[in-house]
């Protein structure tokens, strides 16, 4: 049976179709999910895509946290279903407390859009198994509220338990504490990151590399062999 991976569309989502395409290229069945629906349509995993959900009013991801679909996503994630939050999706994951910390305005107060070098710190999550710990990858980055922050106790816990999944290399683009670009929950089924792997799945677009495809092949293998 083909794995089904859902991608949620909120009002203001920009990268939902890119994420659906990445799922298809990896060999899974992409399933469009609507923010008003609690039914996840029997998907095996969920992607929360990038964009400006609800216009980023109040603060990025804060209103999406109350979307009907998120009640089911949170419940299923806590039961082990894999969830990937990309950029705005990462912001939503922190707002739902599926991941700790918060996202603040970039320290230079400007929107940033560039190819970003990352180091894979944890290749043991549901979304990173096709990478190697210590591997350098290039993934497009575009955000204005991308500065990851948390209290020192939380940061120390993330470091000690291997839950920092990605770290920025060759310069910190937004002032994220400890150069953190992505983190995971304790079980490793929920991962959030600011860069956009769905924009690095074909050689003709994005970075001109396919470094982001590993996110989607990783989860496919996890689901197939589960």
198 annotated active-site: yes
Catalytic, 159? Answer: no
- Segment (H or E) for 127: none
Q: Could you give the CA distance from residue 202 to residue 225 in angstroms, rounded to a whole number?
A: 25
Identify the active-site residue in 35, 87, 138, 199.
87
User: Mutual orientation of helices 213-225 and 16-26 as an angle, nearest 10°?
Assistant: 60
Which residue in 35, 138, 196, 199 is the catalytic one? 196
- The CA R_g of the chain, rounded to the nearest whole Å, is 16
Asked about 87 being catalytic, the answer comes back as yes
Q: Which of 121, 138, 198, 199 is catalytic?
A: 198
Report the C-alpha gap between 139 and 198 in whole angstroms.
9
- Both structure tokens of 22: 């990445």
**How far is the CA of 89 from the CAs of 24, 96, 129, in angstroms?**
19, 11, 20
Which residues are catalytically annotated? 87, 196, 198
């Amino acid at each position: 049976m083909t794995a089904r991976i859902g991608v949620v569309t909120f009002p203001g989502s920009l990268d939902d179709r890119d994420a659906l395409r990445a799922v298809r290229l990896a060999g899974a069945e992409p399933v469009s999910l609507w923010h008003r629906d609690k039914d996840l349509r029997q998907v095996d995993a969920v992607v929360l895509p990038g964009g400006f959900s609800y216009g980023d009013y109040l603060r990025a991801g804060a209103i999406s946290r109350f979307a009907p679909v998120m009640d089911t996503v949170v419940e299923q994630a806590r039961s082990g279903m894999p969830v990937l939050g990309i950029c705005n999706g990462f912001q939503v994951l922190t707002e739902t407390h599926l991941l700790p910390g918060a996202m603040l305005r970039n320290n230079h107060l400007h929107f940033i859009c560039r190819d970003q070098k990352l180091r894979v710190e944890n290749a043991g999550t549901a979304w990173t198994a096709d990478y190697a710990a210590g591997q350098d990858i290039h993934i497009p980055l575009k955000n204005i509220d991308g500065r990851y922050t948390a209290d020192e106790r939380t940061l120390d816990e993330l470091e000690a338990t291997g839950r920092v999944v990605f770290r920025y290399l060759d310069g910190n683009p937004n002032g994220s504490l400890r150069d953190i670009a992505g983190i995971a929950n304790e079980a490793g089924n929920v991962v959030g990151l600011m860069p956009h792997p769905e924009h690095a799945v074909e050689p003709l677009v994005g970075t001109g590399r396919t470094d982001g495809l590993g996110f989607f092949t990783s989860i496919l293998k996890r689901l197939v062999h589960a």
